[in-house]
Structure 1
Amino acid sequence: MKNSILASSIALGVMTSLAAVSPTMAANIDDPNSVAWSSIRGYSSADFGKYFQQKKAQGYRVIDLEVDRIGGKTRYSAVWQYNSDKRGWASYRNMTNAQFSQRWKDFRKQGYRLIDQESYKIGGKRLYAGVWVQNKENTPWVSYRNVDSAAFSKRFKTYQKQGYRMVDVEAYPSGSKTLYSAIWVKNQPNLGWAEYRNMSASSYAKRFKDFQKQGYRVADLESYRQGGRQKYAAIWVKNTNGRGWAARRDMSATWFGNYWKTYRDQGYRLVDFEAYPTIGGTRYAGVWRQNNDRRNWSGRTGVDQAIAAYKKRNGLPGISVVIQKHGKTLYARGFGYADTIKKKVAHADTIYRLASVSKPITGLLAMRQVEQRRLNLDAPTRRYLPSMPGFHTHKIRQLMNHQSGICHYAECGSGWRGQTFNTAFAAIQKYEKQPLLFTPGTKVDYSTHAFSVLAAVLEKRSGRSYSALFTRDITNRLGLPTLRPENRKVKNANRSLVYSGAVPVPADNLSWKFAGGGIESSAVDLTKLGTKLLQGRVISNASRTQMWTNSTLNNGNRSGYGLVWSLGSHRGKAIASHGGAQLGARSHWRIYRNDGIVISILSNRNNGNPSGLADQIGTIVLNAR
């Protein structure tokens, strides 16, 4: 059975108080071009209550509420939107029929309108949930619930003639019947719209394509069981502002999570969520709306193509890239999988090993100690670590610009690397007796082990372990929660598996080299760190300049390194960068020093040349409008 209206409705009987209200005002409230948002799904009642209070205190309001029986338990889900104009709102759940009716009457008297309603059963008892919002625009509205198909059709015709359009539809089994509820608002902007219910999967798919071609978008989606078959109801509206949207249905929990992350990366927000029973178990549907201009960035397609080709060419299970310019995120996306077994997609917030990109971050920690007058770059290392053998004549600066002569991997031995070390100082005692490879300052020879020595110095000067110092001064101080020394004992659903080829392998112990190759992060947080560095929020601008000044050898020749950073140029633009490679990781972090551009490339297999990919991406960013 169908109910539909495609032509724009004529508004009749509009209240005089609406004369001063812009027709687009209410539409902007219900469908803003951009707004902060969040969503949760599958929470217990207690956890939902905690999150509810947290988001409410942060200034958010509920726009969509969902209550379902999943796995024999009652689960709560919601979509939140920042309450930008501070309008009043309310949301209640687990109400009886009488309680819902009383709330409905009370809020209507107070000048609120219903924007979402739910009906469900707990313990065999029919309960209700609803969301109300202060009706500042005095938009006329109506709603009803628990009506059968015939009553629904009758009411549809009535409100259609009166110039209303439907904004919310629900359908739910009640005994042998299907009952319906709906919310309508006066169609003030004469917006084209359509509503169909009791559609089969194939019928919905056909209408989806037809309406999409006509410039309509899905605004509300519902699925339910009827007569032993899966049915769908949906509301379409004319997409008058042309902004992007997406709607998906019949997803497993994993794939809903995958699409949630993928669309979030592409600059969309979730606006409608459904969980519903099917013959194959609980399935999920969602509707997303473009939430910023990231989708319209002129360089997006070129970057997409470059990353996709790079991933395929190098056989990477997963890769994530984030680009910021002057603090604005131009691009954030993952390709492939963080976990090929569970089919968890890579996304911008996937956590990867940084490998040697850990080194410049340790350099920032060191410069913090310099600024606090706890560390002198030109002091001998043994001033801070007097227990080291006397032949360690290098200075702190030489640890950071690879001129220390300290051994690197093969020269340092390897039998101890699988051990767990609580401090860098404990780790360096395994190789500190190895002779230097050259006189400090006479050569440049890359050394990861030198950074564990630097970390031991930082421990001595701060009175904290490297991990504790890092967590305090980087993770917490800068608000970068994924950026931290790797600890696989602490589970994180966003952490990528470690791959050798196409096969996931056990992660090796990195505790001996946190400072030089044991940090993990998402591409989002790594990019934010780069932007904060450019803004002078990590270390002072003077300290940053010092790190980005080409160091010299004893003979006066330039080394190509600053303090940790590799210095160079791309397309005539000065860059500071660092790459990394280790088991399960190949990474690249690049900063265009005078152009405000930060590029982070992280992957979960040690293969490829991300520096070359960064060149391609950098060219696109520099040329983009």
Structure 2
Amino acid sequence: MRTTGKIALVASVLAGAAAPMVAAAPAAGARTAPAWVAYHGVSAGQSAARVKRLKAQGYRPITVNVSDGERYAAVWVKDGAATKWGIWQGMSAGAFQKRFDAGVKAGVRPVSVSATGPAGSPVFTAIFEKRSGKFLAKSGLTGPRFAAAGKRAASQGLTLTSIDAYGTAGDVRYVGVWSAGSGDAWSFTYGKTRRQHEAEFYARKDQGYRPVKVAVAPDGTYAAVWRKDGVEDWAHYVDLSASGYQKRFDDLKGKGFRPVQVNAENGRYAAIWE
């Protein structure tokens, strides 16, 4: 398999348009889907401007990523949901903790968290939503601590719903959010090389699982959440350059699906479409 090749393209593949990547109207007979917007590789200032504009237009963010000297990627949908939400970027570890503590008191919790930079001075971005139910969020975790936290969370009926890796190649850290599960069977992996992630993908695909979250670590390894949820139409690509991701995005244009997660680190992208 080529280094920049695809990991998988399952069933019919659907997507949107070029950066800023706004979804086109669905073709006749296509399934109804909310309007959406996605972008990647934008600066902090450009991201802030998009947040202001998209919020005013009635969109809400469903996933966010920060990488490579504070470059941002996100996917937004316009689905009419009455969910109360907020999105913050450029936070230090201390600022993120303060935002988290304030959110918990107000009944608001993180649903998508991303970080970049060394463990001692990371930059965080996060989407918070007002939701009920049990959850767990942790950052600054080494691989073994991340695995231990995941095991404890799973024993409490929680599912890993947000994941990212940051730090340096010699000191990879993880940030995750575990939420009350849907009842679907799931598991997670981390610290997998590209080849190991590929092997994991095919083994799990044969068992009915698919990747629903993916994160690129500073050392080039991958972390992923795998779920058996019966969804048939999806696509997963890894190890793409920014231009390669854009080309893949454009190749999927007009086929109806949108990206549901975009993740990057050190200029390499991974994404999942549905």
TM range (shorter): 0.7 to 0.9
Rate the CA distance shift 1:190–1:239 in 2: closer, same or farther, 3 A.
Answer: closer
Residue 148 of structure 2 is matched in structure 1 by: 154
Q: Which has the higher strand share?
A: 2
CA distance, structure 1, for counterparts of residue 237 and residue 140 of structure 2: 27
**In structure 2, which of residues 223, 227, 243 is the aligned counterpart of residue 233 of structure 1?**
223
Rate the CA distance shift 1:140–1:176 in 2: closer, same or farther, 3 A.
Answer: same
**In structure 1, which of residues 87, 94, 101 is the aligned counterpart of residue 97 of structure 2?**
101
Residue 133 of structure 2 is matched in structure 1 by: 139
Name which structure has the greater RCO, CA cutoff 8 Å, separation 6+: 2
1:285 aligns with 2:274: no
| SS of residue matched to 1:268 | coil
Residue 193 of structure 1 is matched in structure 2 by: 186
Q: Could you say what the CA RMSD is over the residues aligned between the two structures, in angstroms?
A: 2.1
Task: Kindly indicate whether the alpha-carbon contact (under 8 Å) linking 2:112 and 2:126 is maintained by their aligned counterparts in 1.
Answer: yes
1:184 aligns with 2:178: yes
Give matches, 1:385-404, under 5 Å: none
Aligned length: 243
Rate the CA distance shift 1:224–1:125 in 2: closer, same or farther, 3 A.
Answer: same
TM superposition shift of 1:252: 2.2
Instruction: Write the deviation string for residues 425-453 of structure 1: whole angstroms up to 9, x where unpaired.
Output: xxxxxxxxxxxxxxxxxxxxxxxxxxxxx
Structure 1: gaps (5+ residues): 1-31, 290-625
Relative to the length of structure 1, the TM-score reads: 0.37
AA aligned opposite 1:134? K
Deviates more, 1:168-177 or 1:42-51: 168-177
Give matches, 1:549-564, under 5 Å: none
| SS of residue matched to 1:204 | helix
CA distance, structure 1, for counterparts of residue 246 and residue 237 of structure 2: 12
CA distance, structure 1, for counterparts of residue 110 and residue 196 of structure 2: 30
Residue 20 of structure 2 is matched in structure 1 by: none
CA distance, structure 2, for counterparts of residue 33 and residue 183 of structure 1: 29
Residue 216 of structure 1 is matched in structure 2 by: 209
CA distance, structure 2, for counterparts of residue 39 and residue 139 of structure 1: 29
TM superposition shift of 1:85: 1.6
CA distance, structure 2, for counterparts of residue 169 and residue 203 of structure 1: 18
Task: Kindly indicate whether the alpha-carbon contact (under 8 Å) linking 1:263 and 1:288 is maintained by their aligned counterparts in 2.
Answer: no
Residue 55 of structure 1 is matched in structure 2 by: 54
TM superposition shift of 1:58: 0.9
1:114 aligns with 2:114: no
TM superposition shift of 1:33: 7.5
Structure 2: gaps (5+ residues): 1-30
AA aligned opposite 1:88? K
AA aligned opposite 1:233? A
Larger-gyration structure (1/2): 1
Residue 74 of structure 1 is matched in structure 2 by: 70
Task: Kindly indicate whether the alpha-carbon contact (under 8 Å) linking 1:247 and 1:287 is maintained by their aligned counterparts in 2.
Answer: yes
Residue 88 of structure 2 is matched in structure 1 by: 92
Task: Kindly indicate whether the alpha-carbon contact (under 8 Å) linking 2:143 and 2:190 is maintained by their aligned counterparts in 1.
Answer: no
CA distance, structure 1, for counterparts of residue 32 and residue 263 of structure 2: 23
1:244 aligns with 2:240: no
Q: Which has the higher helix share?
A: 1
TM superposition shift of 1:125: 3.6
AA aligned opposite 2:85? W
**In structure 2, which of residues 146, 162, 165 is the aligned counterpart of residue 168 of structure 1?**
162
| SS of residue matched to 1:34 | coil
Relative to the length of structure 2, the TM-score reads: 0.82
Rate the CA distance shift 1:198–1:258 in 2: closer, same or farther, 3 A.
Answer: same
AA aligned opposite 2:250? K
Task: Kindly indicate whether the alpha-carbon contact (under 8 Å) linking 1:170 and 1:222 is maintained by their aligned counterparts in 2.
Answer: yes
TM superposition shift of 1:104: 0.6
Task: Kindly indicate whether the alpha-carbon contact (under 8 Å) linking 2:47 and 2:72 is maintained by their aligned counterparts in 1.
Answer: yes
| SS of residue matched to 1:225 | coil
Residue 205 of structure 1 is matched in structure 2 by: 198
TM superposition shift of 1:47: 1.8
CA distance, structure 2, for counterparts of residue 211 and residue 89 of structure 1: 34
Task: Kindly indicate whether the alpha-carbon contact (under 8 Å) linking 1:91 and 1:129 is maintained by their aligned counterparts in 2.
Answer: yes
